[in-house]
Amino acid sequence: MKPLKQIENLLPIFVTMKEEQVILVDKKDTQIGLMPKMEAHEKGVLHRAFSVFIFNTKNELMLQQRALHKYHSPGLWTNTCCSHQREGETNIQAGKRRLFEEMGFVTELKETISFIYKAPFDNGLTEHELDHILVGAFESTPNITKEEVADWKWMNVELVKQDIQKNPENYTAWFKIIFQKYYTSIQ
């Protein structure tokens, strides 16, 4: 019986090891299939994604620093959180799920703009996403998940814009693109 108990203890690990699927879409955001996340990034296939921007009442954006062990862009600063919708999940449901998984809190989110971008990485992977920008408000301290996030900070939106121009190497490739798109849409 003891070996069976050991296997039962490992089941949650095996379940989480199953590779996440991304939703393949056309340019109009119509689902055309599913593909393992890593394969989609290796092939640079267009897929659905979302990016969450959380602001406080001082017009500061909550940034996260990606965990140092991430397979791409480790240690770089980026938007509050981002990921991929699961099949059958709305953009808002996905954003709330991932916000809680990475930053440890839940807040109301609203959809703003969406657009397609493509960002290649040094490791041969490519983000080719139809990205939905979700925006929310929060006034407290997040309870970050250290496996996902190394650090976090509030930063004034104008200072973010200036710092990206001055120190682009400190930010993820996608954040530089999506921040500019979002910033332009609110001006």
Active site residues: 82, 129
* Of the candidates 161, 144, 162, 164, the residue with the CA atom closest to the CA atom of residue 152: 144
For 96, the token pair is 């709330």
- Residue 35 phi/psi, 5-degree rounding, is -155, 145
**Crossing angle for the helix pair 157-166 and 173-186, to the nearest 10 degrees:** 140
For 8, the 3-state DSSP assignment is helix
Alpha-carbon distance of 143 to 146, in angstroms, equals 9
Burial of 108 (0-12, 13-18, 19+ CB in 10 A): exposed
